[in-house]
Amino acid sequence: MTTFLMMPPLDDDIRTWAERLREDLPEMDVRLAEDDAEVRAALPDADASYGWVSPENLPLARRLRWLQNPFAGPFPGYYYDALIEHPVVITNPRGIYSDHIAHHILMFMLALSRGLPYWMEAQRRGRWERNARKRGYTNIAGSTVLINGVGGIGAETARLCAALGAKVVGVDPRPEHDCPATIVPPDRLDECLPEADFVVTTVPHTPETEFMWNRRRFGLMKRSAYFINIGRGMTANLEELFEALAGRIIAGAGLDVFEIEPLPDDHPLWHLENVIITPHVAVADAEDLPERRYQLLLDNARRFLTGEELKNVVDKARWY
Known catalytic membership, residue 271:
no
**What is the C-alpha separation between 185 and 227, in angstroms, rounded?**
20
Residues 6 and 50 sit within 8 Å (Cβ to Cβ): yes
Q: In what order do the strands lie in the sheet with 2-6?
A: 28-32, 2-6, 48-50, 66-68, 89-91
**CA-wise closest residue to 70 among 17, 132, 117, 114:** 17
Known catalytic membership, residue 280:
yes
Buried-exposed string 140-162: b where 16+ CB fall within 10 A, e elsewhere: beebbbbbbbbbbbbbbbbbbbe
> Is 223 in a helix, a strand, or coil?
coil
Active-site entry in 20, 65, 280, 318: 280
Active-site entry in 232, 240, 259, 293: 232
Active-site entry in 261, 273, 291, 308: 261
**What is the C-alpha separation between 257 and 234, in angstroms, rounded?**
8
Known catalytic membership, residue 94:
no
* Residues that are catalytic: 232, 261, 280
